[in-house]
């Protein structure tokens, strides 16, 4: 099942040869020229709609998507996943459907059930046809016109759901061959849906397998947007290994914001592969700074499991990638706000919650601390709390919670910190800051452990590895250093879930913030890309914080 990264990411070397020429041709190096200022939209949709470059709900409240993709068409029985991603804080889910050209079409009854499940779980639902993926380069791909016909066939199911759904006409509807051909069929499909009476917000994906590395969508966004007489059109960029530097990411996202053209990161990955290492930290930080939506790929069931957010569709078994997206800095738990159509806000509410009580610290370890405080009150209701680290005159948000306690992780052993808390309500009103609490973290303990090492895939000169560290003790391990040695001259070139240091054959790995704690009887996973020669023998001995581990 999709997504394997080789399916959508072609030779990076071939891209680099032509990318500068492509950027000059389409004007992507001059966004002020390539993207003209968007005019205010005309007639607005009944529900979700675009105004002044922003996605709004029917009541005029700004809505910023924070969610994931879910491969429904290949796993139609996994509808529990919608409730699971909601429970982890998502406000949106992008649902993979098929129109029958490449995969078995999802029936009207099935799509109606998906919409019902999204609404029951208070999720905004982005519905997309996947059969169009890589058209012009992928022989089995369908056209945007065929996808538009599929949506028209579902009109009776979708009409009246404008508050709850967005129609993503077709996934990554053009490959790397002649991407300039994307513009005309995209415009035609939009017009076809509007002529059929659709009032929904429509989403369109970029060419170049969604990554627009030749800048075609960026150069033609204004003309495509103008072709939609309702103005209710949002563009979707997919960010994988093409977007491996902060400059590439911020330049692309800011170009659309400056032009007041609506944009969402409709798919993105973080784990590195042989094509590069996406800079997911900049993607998340910039999306939060610019109030742009993002939808991570993908919940579970990928052919390439490195992109699974959860392991085996189990919400209690998040991968390192899943921990990053849901619980990391600028992740879903910290930034997601429920759509007001479900009661997640009251635009008439201007009263802030009362100040939370002074936090107290407990369960202080080398890398984490649990903070608790007396709950705030509010005239409508407290939606959640933000924990900040205070350093001089600056504050940094480090955790969010819907209850009056939170665990702050990713701390440094034997270090003093100062924390405080704010309360917020659903309308966005924020309380005064609580009094502060000082916390000094503990020294790093060693623990019982076992380590599993496997090679996920190999190619000439390189390979992808995965290391699972299990805590076999009865208490949590908080902060660790993993040690092992390669036997055949292998080297680690990229890693996720940890930071490697290598001297000769010896490798030392320290955790990322989201893998630093290993619960009793729990585990964390670290993945990496390595180089190799003709032989690739697995390490046979591992230590965790200096203690020997068993191997599995």
Catalytic residues: 172, 267
Interacting residues of 114 by C-beta distance below 8 A, sequence separation 6+? 72, 79, 82, 95, 97, 106, 125, 127
| Six-digit token string for 524 | 């964390």
Task: Provide the 8-state DSSP code for 273.
Answer: B
CA 76, 168, 171, 272 dihedral sign is negative
Query: Does residue 540 contact residue 551 with C-beta atoms inside 8 Å?
Result: yes
Q: C-alpha angle 218/126/334, rounded to 5°?
A: 85
Q: How far is CA 36 from CA 40, 56, 257, 261, in A?
A: 12, 22, 11, 9
- Angle (nearest 5°) at CA 525 between 521 and 528: 160
Residues 6+ positions from 259 with CB-CB distance below 8 Å: 31, 35, 36, 37, 38, 53, 221, 222
Nearest by Cα to 167 from 120, 214, 115, 210: 115
Please, which residues bridge with residue 509 across strands? 482, 500
The CA–CA distances, whole Å, from 194 to 12, 94, 394, 501 equal: 37, 22, 49, 56
Measured torsion, CA atoms of residues 541, 545, 549, 552, in degrees rounded to the nearest 10: -80
Residues 6+ apart with CB under 8 A from 129: 97, 98, 99, 142, 147, 150, 151, 168, 169, 170, 171
In which element (H, E) is residue 408 found? strand 405-408
Closest CA to 118 of 89, 154, 151, 81: 81
Verify cis geometry, omega within 30 degrees of 0, for the bond prior to 348: no
Please tell me what DSSP assigns to residue 420. Answer: E
Helix (H) or strand (E) holding 501: strand 498-503
Rounded distance, CA 149 to CA 17, Å?
Answer: 38
Q: Which two tokens stand for residue 115?
A: 């919409």
């Amino acid at each position: 099942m999709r997504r394997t990264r080789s399916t959508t990411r072609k030779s990076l070397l071939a891209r680099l040869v032509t990318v500068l020429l492509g950027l000059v041709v389409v004007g992507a190096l001059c966004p002020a020229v390539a993207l003209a200022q968007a005019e205010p939209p005309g007639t607005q949709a009944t529900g979700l709609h675009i105004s002044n470059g922003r996605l709004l709900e029917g009541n005029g409240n700004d809505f910023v998507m924070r969610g994931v993709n879910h491969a429904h068409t290949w796993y139609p029985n996994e509808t529990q996943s919608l409730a699971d991603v909601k429970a982890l804080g998502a406000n949106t889910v992008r649902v993979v459907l098929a129109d029958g050209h490449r995969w078995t079409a999802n029936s009207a009854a099935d799509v109606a059930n998906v919409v019902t499940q999204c609404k029951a779980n208070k999720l905004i639902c982005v519905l997309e046809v996947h059969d169009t993926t890589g058209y012009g380069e992928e022989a089995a791909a369908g056209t945007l016109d065929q996808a538009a016909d599929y949506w028209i066939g579902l009109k009776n199911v979708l009409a009246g759901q404008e508050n709850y759904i967005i129609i993503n006409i077709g996934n990554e509807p053009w490959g790397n061959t002649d991407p300039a051909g994307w513009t005309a069929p995209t415009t035609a499909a939009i017009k076809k849906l509007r002529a059929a009476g659709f009032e929904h917000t429509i989403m369109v994906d970029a060419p170049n397998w969604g990554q627009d590395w030749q800048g075609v969508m960026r150069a033609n966004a204004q003309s495509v947007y103008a072709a939609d007489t309702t103005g209710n059109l949002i563009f979707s960029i997919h960010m994988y290994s093409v977007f491996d530097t902060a400059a590439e990411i911020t330049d692309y996202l800011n170009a659309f914001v400056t032009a007041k053209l609506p944009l969402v990161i409709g798919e993105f990955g973080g784990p590195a592969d042989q094509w590069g290492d996406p800079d997911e930290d900049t993607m998340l930080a910039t999306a939060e700074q610019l109030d742009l939506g993002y939808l991570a790929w993908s919940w579970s069931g990928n052919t390439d499991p490195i992109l699974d957010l959860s392991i085996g569709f189990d919400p209690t078994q998040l991968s390192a990638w899943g921990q990053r997206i849901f619980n990391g800095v600028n992740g879903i738990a910290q930034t997601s706000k429920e759509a007001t159509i479900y009661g997640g806000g009251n635009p008439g509410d201007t009263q802030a919650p009362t100040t939370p009580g002074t936090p107290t610290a407990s369960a202080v370890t080398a890398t984490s601390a649990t903070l608790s405080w007396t709950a705030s009150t509010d005239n409508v209701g407290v939606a959640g709390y933000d924990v900040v680290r205070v350093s001089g005159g600056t504050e940094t948000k480090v955790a969010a919670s819907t209850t009056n306690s939170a665990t702050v992780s990713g701390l440094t052993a034997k270090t003093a910190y100062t924390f405080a808390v704010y309360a917020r309500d659903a309308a966005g009103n924020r309380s005064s800051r609580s009094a502060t609490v000082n916390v000094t973290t503990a020294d790093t303990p060693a623990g019982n452990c076992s380590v599993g090492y496997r090679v996920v895939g190999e190619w000439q000169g390189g390979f992808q590895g995965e290391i699972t560290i299990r805590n076999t003790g009865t208490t949590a391990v908080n902060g660790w250093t993993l040690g092992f040695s390669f036997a055949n001259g292998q080297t680690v070139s990229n890693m996720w879930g940890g930071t490697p240091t290598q001297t000769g054959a010896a490798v030392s790995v320290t955790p990322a913030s989201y893998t630093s704690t290993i619960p009793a009887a729990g585990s964390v996973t670290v993945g990496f890309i390595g180089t190799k020669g003709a032989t690739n023998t697995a390490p046979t001995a591992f230590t965790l914080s200096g203690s020997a581990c068993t191997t599995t």
